[in-house]
């Protein structure tokens, strides 16, 4: 089964990611990862760190001559800013280079961040030991690994893309179904937007709202939508609670820093509608199998994909670092103090949509590897072909068990 790990600190030497379970022979180059890495750095409202880091990904294990070997694939992303932090974040004792180097210790936690709870959990006095790992800088590794998962999903003809649906108080209904049906055009339109919203009027209003928040020393959140197209029936399972694909997707997206809500298909709107307006009728479809005139389920029924597009939305809260800081407490004295201010973004919803895509790709890659299996690309494609043949047989009326 495909699984992954990440490691590294925000201002440490770099970030490492390991993904295992990939078949041998999968075409993989650093250029294939570069597009997503660049997209993660984009978006109106990002901070100065994005201008420092190149986020170039280097393979250090598991790939030879542009193809996977079947073992774990390890990637490395250098933190270029580490050269300015080496005296503070160096691993060895004595790397502080004496008292002349300011240690940038953090003793006043930021409300909404992991600073305080992490300090209590792990016993850290200097809360930098918490924020360096809890930082959203870690998502650079997830995007790199998600891009690898995207290459694996391409074997099955699966496309994953996203759009920003809202920032602050500005929202829009999202692309039409016809627009989603042309993913490459929609992807380019999204990329052409400063906020990854292909609706020009809404995008302009979002930019203005971010600009106003910056002037006020505040931050903004929003909602993005991720869709996966070309999925077969049968990924995931209803047999055990932890095998349901909707649960795995929710966990994956909620694990992303600042994500506070996830909905699939109609989501929360389904709670306000009668069942006749929520559930998708099943109609005869001849040789192609049954048809659905709607997709309120978002492509999942009983925790299993039903062959329709997967539709997932995630809500991101405003970033916890405010340039007009909220009240907090100095943990050394217990006295009131303004929260620590770290270099940060005003709005990172566009970047979060790229991270959301990566997490959806990773979850779907795991689901495919569980169902299809195969030690090599050749085996994977053979197994997938047989799986599709069986699915076609089982959707012929009267052909099931």
- Provide the token pair at 87: 């005296």
Residue 199: name the closest of 174, 180, 224, 178 by CA.
174
Q: Give the Cα separation of 135 and 114 in Å (integer).
A: 9
Q: Give the Cα separation of 373 and 383 in Å (integer).
A: 7
Instruction: Give this prediction's pTM.
Output: 0.95
Element (H, E) at 73: strand 73-78
* Inter-helix orientation angle 349-371/30-41, to 10°: 140
Q: Which residues of the chain have pLDDT under 70?
A: 94-102, 397-401
Q: Give the Cα separation of 46 and 55 in Å (integer).
A: 15
- Provide the token pair at 232: 């077969």
Q: Give the Cα separation of 74 and 9 in Å (integer).
A: 17
Q: Give the Cα separation of 127 and 138 in Å (integer).
A: 17
Q: Give the Cα separation of 210 and 219 in Å (integer).
A: 8
Residue 182: name the closest of 196, 167, 202, 161 by CA.
161
The CATH class, in words, for 3-88+103-390 is alpha beta
Domain ranges of the chain: 3-88+103-390
Q: Give the Cα separation of 273 and 235 in Å (integer).
A: 27
Helix (H, G, I), strand (E, B) or coil at 46: coil
Residue 203: name the closest of 318, 42, 35, 43 by CA.
43
For residue 400, the model assigns a pLDDT of 43
Q: Can you list the pairs that 45-50 forms with residues at least 24 positions away whose Cβ atoms lie under 8 Å?
A: 45/195, 45/210, 45/213, 45/214, 45/220, 45/345, 45/346, 45/347, 45/348, 45/350, 46/345, 46/346, 46/347, 46/348, 46/351, 47/343, 47/344, 47/345, 47/346, 48/343, 49/81, 49/137, 49/343
Measure the CA dihedral 120/17/145/354, to 10°: 40
Q: Give the Cα separation of 366 and 1 in Å (integer).
A: 6
For residue 47, the model assigns a pLDDT of 77
- Provide the token pair at 138: 């870690």
Q: Are 44 and 195 in contact (CB under 8 A)?
A: yes
- Provide the token pair at 167: 């920032």
Name 325's Cβ contacts closer than 8 Å, sequence gap at least 6.
110, 338, 339, 340, 341
For residue 289, the model assigns a pLDDT of 78
């Amino acid at each position: 089964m495909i699984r992954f790990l990440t490691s590294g600190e925000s201002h440490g030497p770099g970030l490492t990611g390991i993904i295992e379970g990939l078949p041998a022979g999968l075409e993989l180059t650093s250029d294939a990862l570069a597009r997503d890495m660049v997209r993660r750095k984009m978006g109106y409202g990002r901070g100065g760190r994005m201008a420092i880091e190149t986020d170039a990904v280097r393979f250090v294990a598991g790939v030879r001559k542009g193809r996977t070997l079947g073992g774990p694939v390890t990637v490395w992303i250098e933190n270029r800013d580490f050269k300015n932090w080496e005296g503070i974040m160096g691993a060895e004792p004595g790397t502080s280079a004496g008292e002349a180097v300011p240690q940038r210790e953090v003793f006043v936690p930021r409300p909404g961040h992991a600073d305080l709870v992490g300090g209590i959990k792990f016993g850290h006095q200097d809360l930098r030991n918490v924020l360096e790992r809890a930082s959203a800088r870690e998502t650079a590794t997830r995007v790199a690994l998600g891009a690898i998962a995207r290459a694996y999903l391409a074997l099955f003809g699966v496309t994953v893309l996203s759009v920003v649906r809202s920032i602050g108080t500005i929202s829009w209904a999202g692309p039409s179904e016809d627009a989603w049906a042309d993913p490459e055009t929609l992807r380019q339109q999204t990329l052409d937007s400063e906020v990854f919203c292909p609706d020009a009027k809404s995008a302009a209003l979002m930019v203005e709202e971010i600009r106003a928040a910056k002037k006020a020393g505040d931050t903004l959140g929003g909602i993005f939508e991720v869709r996966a197209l070309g999925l077969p029936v049968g990924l995931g399972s209803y047999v055990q609670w932890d095998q349901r694909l909707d649960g795995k997707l929710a966990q994956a997206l909620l694990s992303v820093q600042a994500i506070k809500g996830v909905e699939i298909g109609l989501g929360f709107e389904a709670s306000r509608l009668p069942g006749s307006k929520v559930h998708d009728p099943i109609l005869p479809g001849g040789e192609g199998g049954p048809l659905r005139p709607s997709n309120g389920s978002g492509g999942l029924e009983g925790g299993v994909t039903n062959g329709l597009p997967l539709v997932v939305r995630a809500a991101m809260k405003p970033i916890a670092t405010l340039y007009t800081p909220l009240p907090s407490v100095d943990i050394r004295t217990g006295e009131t103090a303004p929260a620590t201010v770290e270099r940060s973004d005003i709005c990172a919803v566009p970047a979060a949509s790229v991270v959301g895509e990566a997490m959806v790709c990773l979850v779907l890659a795991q689901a495919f590897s569980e169902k299809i299996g195969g030690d090599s690309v050749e085996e994977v494609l053979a197994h997938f072909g047989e799986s599709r043949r069986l699915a076609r047989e089982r959707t012929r009326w009267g052909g099931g068990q």
